[in-house]
A and B are shown apart, each in its own frame.
Chain A
Amino acid sequence: MTTTTTTPSPVSRVRNAARANWLFIALGAVAAVSLVRILTDTNDLTSVGTIRAAIIATCPILMAGLGGLWAERAGVVNIGLEGQMVLGTWGAAFFTYHSGSPWVGILGAALLGMIGGLLHAIATVTFGVDHIVSGVAINLIGVGATTYLAEATFTDLEGGGPRQLIGLPTPTTIDRIPGISGPAADLADKHWFFISDVASFVAALTTKISLLSLVIFALVVASGWILWKTSFGLRLRSCGENPQAAETLGVNVYLYKYVAVLISGAMAGIGGGFLALVASSGFSTNQTNGRGYIGLAAMIFGNWRPGGLLAGALTFGYTDSLRLRDTHAVHSLLLLVAVALIAITVLRIVRKQIAGAVAMAVPGAALLVWFLSTDSVPRDFTSMTPYVTTLFVLALGTQRLRMPAADGRPYRKGSAG
């Protein structure tokens, strides 16, 4: 008898529930932003321009985070993302200049990032060096190599200098999608509650958006699919959870770890390439400015999962873009965070988690007081947001975060016995 085919299995029911949860959280976040926008009369908070800037700020963080995800899912902690990313900025500029095609440049960025990944893989997988130690060394090498290579290869070029290379061709920009861009922008200008905010998002995604941004979003989906829906992904993740068990089942753990770390480096490299080719007018030395670390933070924030990583990267990218805009918008962000914290407080009181409620209520109230007593926030505080948020999430949610079980542990072939 096969009557169960029509009713969903418990597993898929849980998964659907989780998916619905994510949808509700996303809708709730948009509604909260919208409410704050109307209350404080700062339409810039979700204007098409702000969202566009947010997408541009999100992409490099997303790629760094994705790099972290690939490596850590195979059990290798990759603190060297920053170095691999900075290598990618040089690779993108160098290959774009000499080939004339930004897409070749992006491949070059991936290649340079991969070289950084290869160094990390050799040190950590083959030689069993501590992952953090190797990552620190790779960051030193990455920054040093980029500075040196830029001085050696860009100084005499047109548009170049010892520390920069500008005037590079950029990846194709999609100007507008007929039938969607126009109406969405009109709707966004109406400043209605919720509808205009969503329209603004749609407009930003369909107007004057770099094709590379869309590729990057596609890479997130592809990574999620490969890692969770294919047998290759299952084997790769098994190396991060229990490499000894994977080995006894015939998985070539070293090979999978190498592949994962190489992909990780390539992802970080592409993130660097995006910085040089799309996010700014060209290459400049030390352009990453800690984004590799923010990507790592976004991945942890997202609990080592692609969906959460996307949420983390969007949050950090959004605050990063607001920093560059109206200070008034940043000020209303205070209210937003205060409202969010108070909402969590109420939720925790309902669930009778009193200690957790207090932990949320105190910063929430403090932010509310700050909002009511000032009219602007120094820009510096906005740029701290990703870091402070990550510390908060880690401090309050470490018990709920679950990293791959064998993440960062040394593993030697044959240790399964």
Chain B
Amino acid sequence: MKSFNPRAIGLALLGPAIAIVASVLVTTLVIAAVGSSPGDFWSTMFDFPKPRSRVDIVNQTAMIYTAAVAAAIGFRMGLFNIGLEGQYTLASYAAAAFAGGAYLSGFANVFVSLLIAVAVGAAWSAIAGILKTTRGVSEVISTIMLNSIAITLVGYLLNKYGVHEGNTVHTTRIDLVSGWTPFENRDGEIWTLVIIAVLAGVGFWVLLNKTRFGFDLRASGQSETVAKASGVNPHRMIITAMALSGGVAGLIWMPALFGKATNFGLGTTFQAGLGFLGIAVALLGRNRPIGMLFGALLFAYLSVKSNDLTFATDVSPSIVQITQGVAVLAVVVAYEVVRRWRARLEQRVVAQELGTATEATA
């Protein structure tokens, strides 16, 4: 058992603390630079959210968290799945198109649609895995390419098979799954499929810490040679991890589809960009289930709360995108700084102990 060490915990929290200070500082400076009032901005942002915003924050946190788990599965074994965006776009379209077809009814329809989302996301990201294992193509480049291909492909399919209404096109409307209304009806509801995020988080933790596969995954991430020596098939590991990451990615937008959107329309109902937010949150939370939960909550809070800015201040809501970006960059830099500092501290402790030891023997 690890003993309780206040200094270790302090060091672990130092990274996020530095990142938050840095992003607050940069945001304030940017707002002041264009001549708006940072004070108004922060007081609006720190205002306790209204019931409606609270509901939105929960829903958004769930989707961002699912995306973060999907990214983390790859990151934990050293795979950069930059392709979450394409995977969940394609998977969301496939699931929405299937659900709209109404081949099944009620929960069977929802359940099979979710399975399709998982399958499509997994298959699309497995392409990158197969290209990596068979042809040695870096997954970073191939997933970036697959992102663009997926989004164009969805545009084409939607145009060809979707329902055209005026200037917009979307998949056939589906029946919503009613959610839970914690406040008044007008404040909206927390979507039922938010449960996906909970399952993803718990599943991720169990997978990593309680299964052979999770051990192999982490081992591969730490050292490929060690993993290979302990009997892990690296090729199979890469393809499985990519597929798993893509499969989870397929589920990212599902809560919104069955909770509110009713159909898939590019630029209209579909919420793009969650894949990149997920990557950011995975980095912010160090790929740990709890860390990512805080990260997702922070990002969701910033996104939802920024809508209040339009009414209360002259600061545009897009400012929070800067805050989010700076937070990610600052946190990765801060972790690196803390890591180096800790290494130096440890070296010093070792040197001291060795020094006293040699004195004692002398």
- Interface of A with B (CB < 8 Å)? 79, 119, 122-123, 127-130, 132-134, 136-145, 147-149, 151-153, 162, 290, 293, 296-297, 300, 378, 380-381, 383-384, 386-388, 390-391, 394-396, 398-399
Given contacts A79-B140, A119-B329, A136-B276, contact A151 B153 (CB under 8 A): no
A128 touches B156 (CB 8 A): no
A391 touches B145 (CB 8 A): yes
Which 3 residue pairs of A and B lie closest in terms of their CB atoms, listed nearest first? A144-B321, A141-B325, A140-B325
Given contacts A133-B332, A140-B276, contact A145 B322 (CB under 8 A): yes
Residue of B nearest to A398 (CB): B136
Interface status of B34 (Cβ within 8 A of chain A): yes
By a CB distance below 8 angstroms, the chain B residues around A290 are 148
Tell me the bound Cα distance from A134 to B283 in angstroms: 10
Q: A149-B34, A162-B316, A380-B155 are in contact. List 7 more A-B contacts (CB 8 A).
A: A127-B333, A128-B336, A129-B336, A134-B332, A143-B321, A147-B316, A387-B146
Shortest beta-carbon distance from A413 to chain B in Å: 12
Tell me the bound Cα distance from A293 to B144 in angstroms: 7
Tell me the bound Cα distance from A399 to B160 in angstroms: 39
A127 touches B336 (CB 8 A): yes
Given contacts A384-B149, A387-B149, contact A148 B325 (CB under 8 A): no
By a CB distance below 8 angstroms, the chain B residues around A296 are 141, 144
A141 touches B322 (CB 8 A): yes
Partner of A380, one of B136, B152, B283: B152
Interface status of B240 (Cβ within 8 A of chain A): no
**Count of B residues near A, CB < 8 Å?**
43
B324 touches A127 (CB 8 A): no
Shortest beta-carbon distance from B265 to chain A in Å: 16
Interface status of B80 (Cβ within 8 A of chain A): yes
Tell me the bound Cα distance from A380 to B154 in angstroms: 9
Shortest beta-carbon distance from A99 to chain B in Å: 19
Partner of A123, one of B140, B318, B333: B333
Residues B289-343 near A (CB distance < 8 A): 316, 318-322, 324-326, 328-329, 332-333, 336-337
Given contacts A127-B337, A300-B141, A391-B145, contact A153 B332 (CB under 8 A): no
Tell me the bound Cα distance from A383 to B326 in angstroms: 32
Tell me the bound Cα distance from A148 to B320 in angstroms: 9
Given contacts A123-B333, A144-B318, contact A297 B156 (CB under 8 A): no
A148 touches B318 (CB 8 A): yes
B141 touches A144 (CB 8 A): no
A123 touches B145 (CB 8 A): no
By a CB distance below 8 angstroms, the chain B residues around A142 are 325
B142 touches A153 (CB 8 A): no
Tell me the bound Cα distance from A85 to B342 in angstroms: 37
Interface status of B12 (Cβ within 8 A of chain A): no
A137 touches B329 (CB 8 A): yes
B329 touches A123 (CB 8 A): yes
By a CB distance below 8 angstroms, the chain B residues around A122 are 333
Given contacts A123-B333, A152-B34, contact A395 B140 (CB under 8 A): no
The secondary structure that dominates the A interface is helix
* Per-residue interface assignment for chain B, residues 135 to 176, with 1 indicating a CB less than 8 Å from any chain A CB and 0 otherwise: 111101110111011001101100110000000000000000
A384 touches B148 (CB 8 A): yes
Partner of A391, one of B131, B152, B280: B131
Tell me the bound Cα distance from A304 to B160 in angstroms: 39
By a CB distance below 8 angstroms, the chain A residues around B276 are 136, 139-140
Partner of B36, one of A123, A136, A152: A152
- Interface of B with A (CB < 8 Å)? 30, 34, 36, 80, 82, 131, 135-138, 140-142, 144-146, 148-149, 152-153, 155-156, 159-160, 276, 279-280, 283, 316, 318-322, 324-326, 328-329, 332-333, 336-337
By a CB distance below 8 angstroms, the chain A residues around B279 are 136
B80 touches A132 (CB 8 A): yes
Given contacts A140-B276, A148-B319, A149-B34, contact A387 B326 (CB under 8 A): no
Given contacts A123-B329, A380-B159, A394-B131, contact A144 B324 (CB under 8 A): yes
Most buried by A among B34, B144, B146: B144
By a CB distance below 8 angstroms, the chain A residues around B146 are 387, 391
By a CB distance below 8 angstroms, the chain A residues around B329 are 119, 123, 134, 137-138, 141
B316 touches A380 (CB 8 A): no
Tell me the bound Cα distance from A130 to B80 in angstroms: 11
A130 touches B332 (CB 8 A): yes
By a CB distance below 8 angstroms, the chain A residues around B322 are 141, 144-145, 148
By a CB distance below 8 angstroms, the chain B residues around A132 are 80, 82, 140
By a CB distance below 8 angstroms, the chain B residues around A148 are 30, 316, 318-319, 321-322
By a CB distance below 8 angstroms, the chain B residues around A380 are 152-153, 155-156, 159
Tell me the bound Cα distance from A390 to B137 in angstroms: 11
Tell me the bound Cα distance from A396 to B80 in angstroms: 21
Shortest beta-carbon distance from B87 to chain A in Å: 15
Tell me the bound Cα distance from A97 to B156 in angstroms: 38
A147 touches B137 (CB 8 A): no
Given contacts A129-B332, A290-B148, A293-B148, contact A147 B141 (CB under 8 A): no
Tell me the bound Cα distance from A391 to B80 in angstroms: 17
Tell me the bound Cα distance from A391 to B131 in angstroms: 9
Partner of A394, one of B34, B80, B137, B155: B137
24 CB < 8 A contacts A-B: A79-B144, A123-B332, A123-B333, A128-B336, A129-B333, A136-B279, A137-B328, A140-B280, A140-B325, A141-B321, A144-B319, A144-B320, A144-B321, A145-B322, A148-B322, A151-B318, A152-B36, A290-B148, A293-B148, A390-B141, A391-B131, A391-B137, A394-B135, A394-B137
A395 touches B135 (CB 8 A): yes
B316 touches A387 (CB 8 A): no
Tell me the bound Cα distance from A398 to B280 in angstroms: 29
By a CB distance below 8 angstroms, the chain B residues around A129 are 332-333, 336
Shortest beta-carbon distance from B140 to chain A in Å: 6
Shortest beta-carbon distance from A34 to chain B in Å: 29
Tell me the bound Cα distance from A121 to B138 in angstroms: 22
By a CB distance below 8 angstroms, the chain A residues around B30 are 145, 148
